[in-house]
Amino acid sequence: MMNDAAPTPSRPRLIPILVIILVLGFAASLGGTLYYRGEVQRLQDELMRQQQLPPPPPLAQPQPPAPPPAGGPLAPDDAKERAARLERQVAELNGRLAARDQELDVLRRRDGNRAGRDGDRPRRDRGEPRPGQGPGEFMQRLRENDPQRYQEMQTRIKEFNDRMTTALGEQEAFLSTLDAAAMSAEQQNAHTRLLAALQRMREINEQLSADPEAADVPDLRREMFENMTVARDLLAQERQTALQDLARQLGYREQETSQFADYVNQVYESTSLPMGRMGGPRGGRTPGGAPDGAPPPGANP
């Protein structure tokens, strides 16, 4: 019955769905970006440290024994000579293996001594923050003790904050285009709170990018985390609202918009790795929506 009442979305008209999924999918990974960036840097530092060790010398290949002569069994003297030659080869191989073991032992002791020296060095000499040391104090010491690394860290921090500010601005601009008049009271409240959180996150990023060593940086980072938590909890509901808004633009009736949004959310979840959705709600499904795997309203069964 619903096939005659609602048009079937054409491919060009469904392009905005991909835009919505890509934009909102970026926000879902926002909280994990800072953590993984630090882990990558730590692993890169460890890899550089390991690469400084000299590679062990290659093991010499033993010479293969001479093949037995053709023409029948060896004479007693020839057999003795061959046995002696094999004994010499075995002794030579044992000597090489012993030398190899000694070289490996030297490398292990050298690596252990280096690790011990690194462990005994003060944290400030290793470029690590000390317990109770704030980011501002750590960066100040790094600027004094290792100017090159300090400048590299400053550049990476600024580039990251700039990218985050741009992404938040684009996300905020897109969500501002949704038709708030067509939303329910609950959706309007969530929409307003989400826009406020995104705007504040963008403002904080601009401040951090302008002066990453300001005295209020710890407070700004704490406020950033609080707003990220709020935004993460509201994004699933906002996705549902945005998809319903898209359904209206595509010509669906009002009572069909939730079913359309549920179907698109199901497509998004079914084409995403489960690890990317752990801990989050399932797309903000509304009561009475389409069951899992059901086509959107107006689609041919």
- Shared domain for 98 and 203, answered yes or no, is no
Task: With CA atoms as reference, report the closest residue to 28 among 292, 257, 238.
Answer: 238
Residue 265: what pLDDT?
87
Task: Tell me whether residue 75 is in a domain.
Answer: no
- Shared domain for 213 and 101, answered yes or no, is no
- Shared domain for 267 and 193, answered yes or no, is yes
- 40, pLDDT greater than 70: no
HSE-CB for 153 with a 13 A CA cutoff? 19
HSE-CB for 130 with a 13 A CA cutoff? 10
φ/ψ of residue 129, rounded to 5? -70, 145
pLDDT tens track for 248-272: 999 999 889 989 999 998 888 888 7
Distance CA 171, CA 176 (A): 9
Token pair in block for residue 144:
């004094």
Task: Tell me whether residue 293 is in a domain.
Answer: no
Task: Tell me whether residue 58 is in a domain.
Answer: no
pLDDT tier at 284, thresholds 50, 70, 90: very low
* Prediction pTM value: 0.48
Residue 15: what pLDDT?
55
pLDDT tier at 218, thresholds 50, 70, 90: confident
Distance CA 301, CA 299 (A): 6
Instruction: Dump the DSSP string for 12-38.
Output: GGGHHHHHHHHHHHHHHTHHHHHHHHH
Number of H helices and number of E strands within the chain? 9, 0
Average pLDDT for residues 81-108, to the nearest whole number?
69
Q: Spell out a b/e string for 223-257, using b for 16 or more CB atoms within 10 Å of the CB, else e.
A: ebeebbebbbebbbbbbbbbbbbbbeebebeeebb
Q: How many domains does the structure of the chain reveal?
A: 2
Give the residue, 142 or 177, on which the prediction is more confident: 177
Residue 243: what pLDDT?
92
Residue 196: what pLDDT?
94
- Shared domain for 213 and 255, answered yes or no, is yes
Residues 6 or more apart whose CB falls under 8 angstroms from that of 241 comprise: 178, 183, 187, 190, 191
Instruction: Answer whether 93's CB lies under 8 Å from 62's CB.
Output: yes
Distance CA 223, CA 11 (A): 42
Residue 278: what pLDDT?
46
Residue 287: what pLDDT?
38
Task: Tell me whether residue 220 is in a domain.
Answer: yes
Residue 198: what pLDDT?
93
Residue 211: what pLDDT?
82
Task: Tell me whether residue 199 is in a domain.
Answer: yes
Instruction: Dump the DSSP string for 145-185.
Output: H-HHHHHHHHHHHHHHHHHHHHHHHHHHHHHTTS-GGGS-H
- Shared domain for 33 and 156, answered yes or no, is yes
pLDDT tens track for 286-301: 434 444 444 555 554 4
Express as a percent the part of the chain with pLDDT over 90: 21
- Shared domain for 119 and 250, answered yes or no, is no
- 72, pLDDT greater than 70: no
Residue 152: what pLDDT?
87
Residue 186: what pLDDT?
94
pLDDT tens track for 107-166: 767 666 655 555 555 544 444 545 445 556 777 787 888 888 888 888 888 888 888 889
Give the residue, 19 or 175, on which the prediction is more confident: 175
Task: Tell me whether residue 54 is in a domain.
Answer: no
Which residue segment(s) compose the domain that 259 sits in? 2-45+147-276
